[in-house]
């Protein structure tokens, strides 16, 4: 009876590790299919009531705490583990075989992922395809993380006088306290998203189309696009694009993602964009 209310920490840690493993799996899948950060923050994307930032925090914290729990699990079960190893000493050959296979499997996954070899590379390519599929005209920001700009900075980004922006917003019952307010805060105070503010300005035709080169800024995800996709978006013939890059010392032998072409030429994806005259 004396131990009735006492916690069995070994059981607690084991059960907690199981729960954490489930949470790590769920959050990992959600982040695998979630939109890229620039879109998630711009459109205030949520899933099951959680933002992408919150899903990332859950995944990170449950992973860290799982590692801590695993250490305690090892401590609590150290003696049984050592006894098991001693009992298996007679079967050392089998242990060596299993150890070899486990090591080989780990190496295959590691190098297969590093060198982007199917099916490991295919899994990552699928994730990038799903991520890129979120982008469209309604949720793509004019520049990455535009929601962190003040209203005054945003007006300069989209090349329109601030007084016209303020006039249009107030005409549509958007309360604008001052032009130094951050766009993200302005949207939150009015119960809408930054993307809704941008779309509202475009619908009211007070906001001209932003120059196409603004979408190729840092953090815009251009590294995941292939060179042919970039050239097609800007009506540049393949041969002409390759020649433009060659003049800048960037050699392209076949179509590939910008990040891979950049790595092969020891440059950044942004430098490739600049070489094509798109910024």
> For 220-261, how does the pLDDT look when each residue is reduced to its tens digit (9 = 90+)?
567 778 899 889 888 899 999 999 999 989 999 888 888 889
At 10 the pLDDT is 82
Q: Are residues 198 and 223 in the same domain?
A: no
Q: Which of 172, 190, 210 is the last residue of a domain?
A: 210
**197 and 251 housed in the same domain:** no
Position 233 scores a pLDDT of: 85
Provide the percentage of residues in the chain whose pLDDT is more than 90.
Answer: 40
Q: Is residue 96 part of a domain?
A: no
Structure token pair of residue 231: 């050239």
SS3 state of residue 219: coil
Residue 9 has pLDDT above 60, yes or no: yes
Beta bridge partners of 47: 50
Separation of alpha carbons 64 and 62, rounded Å: 6
Q: What is the DSSP letter of 23?
A: H
- Model confidence band, residue 201 (pLDDT cutoffs 50, 70, 90): confident
Is the separation of the CB atoms in 207 and 160 below 8 Å?
A: yes
Mean pLDDT of 262-276: 87
Q: Which pLDDT score, from 0 to 100, does residue 183 have?
A: 94
Residue that terminates a domain, selected from 193, 210, 227: 210
- Calculated CA dihedral for residues 207, 211, 217, 222, nearest 10 degrees: 110
State the Cα angle at 48 between 55 and 220, rounded to 5°: 50
Q: What is the pLDDT of residues 150-186, one digit of tens each?
A: 999 998 888 888 999 999 999 999 999 999 999 999 9
C-beta contacts of 30-35 below 8 A and 24+ residues apart = 30/55, 31/55, 31/56, 31/59, 32/127, 32/130, 33/127, 33/130, 33/131, 34/131, 35/131, 35/134, 35/135, 35/139
Contacts of 125 (CB under 8 A, 6+ apart): none
Whole-number pLDDT of residue 225:
82
- The secondary structure element, H or E, covering residue 242 is helix 238-247
Q: Which of 160, 181, 210 is the last residue of a domain?
A: 210
pLDDT number for residue 93: 57
Same domain, 65 and 15: yes
pLDDT in tens, 63-108: 999 999 999 888 888 887 777 767 666 555 556 677 788 889 999 9
- Do 218 and 205 sit in the same domain of this protein? no
DSSP state of 91: G
- 194 and 250 together in one domain: no
Domain annotation covers residue 111: no
Q: Which span out of 3-7, 53-57, 129-133 was modeled with the highest average pLDDT? A: 53-57
246 in a structural domain:
yes
Q: CA of 23: how far to CAs of 11, 19, 29, 52, 63, in Å?
A: 19, 6, 10, 15, 9
97 assigned to some structural domain:
no
Model pLDDT, residue 145: 84
Verify that 205 and 257 share a domain, yes or no: no
pLDDT reported for residue 46: 93
Is residue 38 one of the residues assigned to a domain? yes
Contacts (Cβ under 8 Å, ≥6 apart) of 113: 120, 121, 124
Mean pLDDT confidence for 202-213: 53
- pLDDT for 118 equals 86
Residue 220 lies in a domain: yes
19, 82: one domain: yes
Question: Do 204 and 244 lie in a common domain?
Answer: no
Instruction: Let me know: does 227 contact 258? Beta carbons within 8 Å.
Output: yes
Same domain, 188 and 237: no
Both 163 and 230 in one domain: the answer is no
Output the six-digit token pair for 105.
């499997």
Question: Could you tell me the residue range of the domain that residue 22 belongs to?
Answer: 9-87
Under DSSP, the state recorded for 50 is E
Tokens read off for 39:
């879109």
> Phi-psi region for residue 266, left (φ > 0), alpha (ψ -120 to 50) or beta?
left
State the helix-helix crossing angle for 9-33 and 52-76, rounded to 10 degrees.
150
Into how many domains does the chain fold? 3
> Given this model, what pLDDT does residue 94 score?
58
Q: How far is CA 23 from the centre of its chain?
A: 19
The owner of tokens 């995800």 is: 221
| Interhelix angle 194-203/162-171, nearest 10 degrees | 100
230 and 254 assigned to the same domain: yes
Residue 115 lies in a domain: no
Question: What percent of the chain is modeled with pLDDT above 70?
Answer: 87
151 token code pair: 């209203």
Query: Given a cut of 60, is residue 213 above it in pLDDT?
Result: no
In a domain, 134, yes or no: no
pLDDT digits (tens, 9 = 90+) for 21-45: 999 999 999 999 999 888 899 999 9
Rounded Cα distance between 148 and 271, Å, is 25
Pair (191, 260) in one structural domain? no
């Amino acid at each position: 009876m004396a131990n009735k209310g006492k916690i069995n920490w070994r059981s607690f840690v084991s059960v907690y590790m199981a729960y954490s493993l489930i949470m790590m799996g769920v959050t990992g899948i959600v982040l695998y299919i979630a939109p890229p950060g620039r879109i998630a923050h711009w459109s205030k994307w949520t899933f099951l009531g959680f933002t992408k930032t919150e899903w990332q925090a859950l995944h990170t914290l449950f992973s860290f705490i799982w590692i801590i729990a695993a250490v305690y699990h090892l401590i609590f079960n150290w003696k049984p583990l050592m006894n098991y190893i001693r009992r298996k000493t007679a079967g050392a050959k089998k242990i060596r075989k299993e150890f070899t296979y486990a090591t080989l499997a780990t190496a295959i996954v590691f190098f297969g992922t590093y060198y982007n070899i199917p099916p490991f590379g295919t899994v990552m390519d699928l994730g990038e395809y799903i991520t890129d599929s979120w982008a469209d005209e309604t949720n793509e920001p004019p520049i990455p993380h535009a929601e962190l700009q003040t209203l005054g900075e945003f007006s300069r980004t989209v090349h329109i006088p601030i007084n016209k922006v303020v006039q249009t917003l107030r005409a549509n019952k958007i309360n604008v306290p001052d032009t130094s307010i951050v766009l993200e805060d302005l949207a939150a105070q009015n119960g809408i998203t930054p993307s809704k503010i941008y779309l509202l300005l475009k619908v009211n035709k007070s906001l001209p189309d932003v120059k196409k080169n603004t979408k190729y800024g840092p953090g815009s995800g251009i590294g995941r696009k292939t060179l042919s996709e970039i050239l097609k978006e800007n009506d540049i013939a393949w041969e002409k694009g390759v020649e433009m890059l060659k003049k800048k010392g960037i050699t392209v032998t076949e179509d590939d993602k910008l990040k891979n072409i950049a790595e092969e030429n020891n440059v950044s994806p942004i430098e490739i964009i600049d070489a094509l005259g798109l910024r």
